[in-house]
Amino acid sequence: MRINLIFWGTALSLSLAGVCFAGVADDCSGSIEDEKYDIAPDLCSRACNSNDGGGCKKLGYLYEKGLGVKQDYRLAEINYRKSCDLDNSEGCINLGYWYEKGPDAKHDYQKAAGYYEKACNLDDGMGCCNSGIFYHEGRGVKQDFLKAKSLYEKSCALNYGQGCSNL
């Protein structure tokens, strides 16, 4: 009987912790949508610190644009990277774009291609399309038309229109 009580208590604690983390992530998103930049950085930082990839991506966005925080490209990049490391495909795309066309002219097409490909591996249509473009043009990777076509097809199958248009 005692084992059951401990088990249920633990399960309840874990369940409530997940709800709290989800609440912080939702609050982070809501504060940005509502343009409440006075509270967004704190909420997104808390979400990111609880390993919510979306929260890290949004915190990176706040630092990139200087919304509610002093603009800081280094912190933007760090948070985009953490987001991608947590398998948030949008964070990977933002990081890919950062290295492709970044604001501080640190262009590295090889890194950009890698981040776009990771987003694609996470089943993100935009990531597949962007990766396809890089293979089509040979940017940061060896030019490979068959791989580009395959990536465009996956992008299209994921309902990303530009991937369909590129076929």
Max Cα-Cα span within the chain: 65
Confidence band of 2 (pLDDT split at 50, 70, 90): very low
Residues 55 and 115 in one domain: no
Tens of pLDDT, residue by residue over 35-44, are 999 999 999 9
Task: Compute the C-alpha angle 73/43/58, nearest 5°.
Answer: 40
Residues 115 and 81 in one domain: no
Confidence band of 156 (pLDDT split at 50, 70, 90): very high
Those residues with Cβ within 8 angstroms of residue 39's Cβ, 6 or more apart along the chain or in another chain: 31, 68
User: Can you tell me the distance from the alpha carbon of 124 to that of 1, in angstroms, rounded to the nearest whole number?
Assistant: 47
Report how many domains make up the chain: 2
C-alpha distances out from residue 72 to 44, 75, 79, 85, 106, Å: 16, 6, 11, 20, 14
Residues 76 and 109 in one domain: no
Residues 108 and 82 in one domain: no
In this prediction, what percent of the chain has a pLDDT beyond 70?
Answer: 85
Confidence band of 151 (pLDDT split at 50, 70, 90): very high
Q: What is the pTM of this model?
A: 0.82
Structure tokens at 150: 């395959």
Establish if 93 belongs to a structural domain: no
Tens of pLDDT, residue by residue over 89-126, are 999 999 999 999 987 667 899 999 999 999 999 999 99
Is residue 146 scored above 50 in pLDDT? yes
Domain, as residue range, for 161: 103-167
Confidence band of 18 (pLDDT split at 50, 70, 90): very low
Residues 154 and 127 in one domain: yes
Residues 80 and 147 in one domain: no
Average pLDDT, the chain: 87
Those residues with Cβ within 8 angstroms of residue 49's Cβ, 6 or more apart along the chain or in another chain: none
Is residue 11 scored above 50 in pLDDT? no
3-class DSSP state for residue 145? helix
Establish if 8 belongs to a structural domain: yes
- Which alpha helices (DSSP H) does 34-88 contain, by range? 40-49, 53-65, 73-85
- Asked if 39 and 31 count as a contact pair (C-beta separation under 8 A), the reply is yes
